Amino acid sequence: MSQDKLIQIKNKQTGETYWTRKNKKLVERKIELKKFSKKLRKHVVFKEAKK
């Protein structure tokens, strides 16, 4: 995976992080994805964070 396309998404409550890809040419806004939180044991919103 190219390092340019990698973004970090972070959960505000637990501080957990996931790494995912983003096409910066097509998507200008910050990404919000629902992912599974191991600490909370449910799906929660993860928002794009700075690297």
Predicted pLDDT at 12: 95
The pLDDT value given to residue 51 = 75
Q: pLDDT by residue for the chain (51 residues), tens digit each? A: 678 889 999 999 999 999 999 998 999 999 999 999 999 999 999 999 987
Quote the pLDDT of residue 42.
97
CA torsion 31-32-33-35 (nearest 10°) is 120
Cα–Cα distance measured from residue 8 to residue 41, given in angstroms and rounded to the nearest whole number: 20
List, edge to edge, every strand of the sheet that includes 32-37.
Answer: 17-21, 6-10, 42-49, 32-37
Q: How many CB atoms lie within 10 A of CB 35?
A: 15
- In this prediction the pTM is 0.84
Look up the CATH number of domain 6-49. 2.20.28.120
